Amino acid sequence: MSAQLAAAPATDTAAAAPPYLVVEQVSKHFGTTIALERASLTVAAGEFVSFLGPSGCGKTTLLRAIAGLDPATSGRILQDGRDITFLPPAARDFGIVFQSYALFPNLTVTDNVGYGLRGRAWPASRRTHRVAELLGLVGLAEHARKYPAQLSGGQQQRVALARALAAEPGLLLLDEPLSALDAQVRQHLRQELRALQRRLGVTTVMVTHDQEEAMGVSDRIVVMSRGLIEQIGTPETIYRHPASAFVAGFVGHASRFNAVVDAPPGTLVADGLTLPCLGARRMLYGAPVQAFIRPEDVALGPTATALEGNFAARVMHHEFLGPVCRVTLQAGRLQLEADVNPAVAPAIGEVLLAALPAERLMVFPRDV
């Protein structure tokens, strides 16, 4: 981890309502390792926000600082107007679900969920009612008497979720809750999780390294890299208007190539090709840039004919992905991926007219 981390360029366009959770300039150092550097963000009441980034970017560290499991080195965290920065976890108001379920193997499903109410001096009848209600909510009523080992991974994670929600916490924290599950269960459970979160209106923060998962469930995503927040925005904003080359490359799929800003304004040159690019309009002539284009945005054949800056490209490779066929195109030394309808996929070796729509080409300054 570099010690020369700059302040995070966080753009937080949260809703107008007063934030439920405020993270202000939070840093966390482990000895000489800077795990998190001046992270700032807000989460509105009822919002579902995901921390997304590659391994080691600091997302778990930030979640653990919010939970008080590893308090921040500096900065402030406010929940519902209360400064919780240095409160012990037990004095905070959250429920948490970990990747590893963390259920008690010797307790039944009912008792595992009931464990979530241990801090509450509720009469037995109210506890029983609440546990039954939660098991109903997560669809496990008929498994109440079973032990964790008698349940599938997805069912165990539902128990963990019910336990986390038992005491009606103000904040639900999810640390890679779906990562241990297989793809189909994961997708199903993430939809259930989102539906339940909406129904209960509980403010939720989830850590994930899976961008599809983050895009699928979140109101907003906090993209992190090397201890810094790179961008905060809705899934659409992050995907369509990435704030940095890192975000453009990490979220979704994109072909990347080097180019230089040319004249007239709004033009790039890349390996002899002249490409119109709206994003380059405000960049200086001669500036080196990294350009990104998403495979679904590459125009081919008749659609490319109408576009300025079209060029001939040869089909080098095919990848059948189900709803689309991803073809690798070569134009000079430039290599691009484009998604096409599998029913009309061009043959390998075929030469096509291709174009990169000016409004879809994403550009960022490049260090040389």
Ligand X SMILES: Nc1ncnc2c1ncn2[C@@H]1O[C@H](COP(=O)(O)OP(=O)(O)OP(=O)(O)O)[C@@H](O)[C@H]1O
Q: Would you tell me which residues interact with ligand X (CB under 6 A)?
A: 1, 30, 33, 35, 53, 55-61, 209
User: What's the number of CA atoms in the CB half-sphere (13 Å) around residue 334?
Assistant: 27
Is residue 234 classed as helix, strand or coil in its secondary structure?
Answer: coil
CA distance 171 to 49: 11
Whether 76 and 26 have beta carbons less than 8 Å apart is answered as: yes
- The residue (of 43 and 329) whose beta carbon lies closer to ligand X is 43
- The residue (of 67 and 283) whose beta carbon lies closer to ligand X is 67
- The residue (of 50 and 112) whose beta carbon lies closer to ligand X is 50
Q: Cβ of residue 72: shortest distance to ligand X, in angstroms?
A: 12
Q: Cβ of residue 224: shortest distance to ligand X, in angstroms?
A: 7
- The residue (of 33 and 152) whose beta carbon lies closer to ligand X is 33
Longest CA pairwise span in the chain (Å): 77
Q: Cβ of residue 205: shortest distance to ligand X, in angstroms?
A: 13
- The residue (of 40 and 330) whose beta carbon lies closer to ligand X is 40
Alpha-carbon separation of residue 232 from 25, 35, 270, 354 (angstroms): 15, 18, 30, 33
Segment holding 135, helix H or strand E: helix 124-137
Q: Cβ of residue 26: shortest distance to ligand X, in angstroms?
A: 12
Nearest to 341 by CA among 318, 361, 310: 318
Q: Cβ of residue 217: shortest distance to ligand X, in angstroms?
A: 17
- The residue (of 1 and 144) whose beta carbon lies closer to ligand X is 1
Whether 70 and 64 have beta carbons less than 8 Å apart is answered as: yes
Q: Cβ of residue 114: shortest distance to ligand X, in angstroms?
A: 30
Tokens for 151?
Answer: 């349940």
Provide the 8-state DSSP code for 266. T
- The residue (of 55 and 184) whose beta carbon lies closer to ligand X is 55
Residue 31's identity, in one-letter code, is G
CA distance 146 to 142: 9
Nearest to 291 by CA among 247, 342, 357, 245: 245
Q: Cβ of residue 223: shortest distance to ligand X, in angstroms?
A: 11
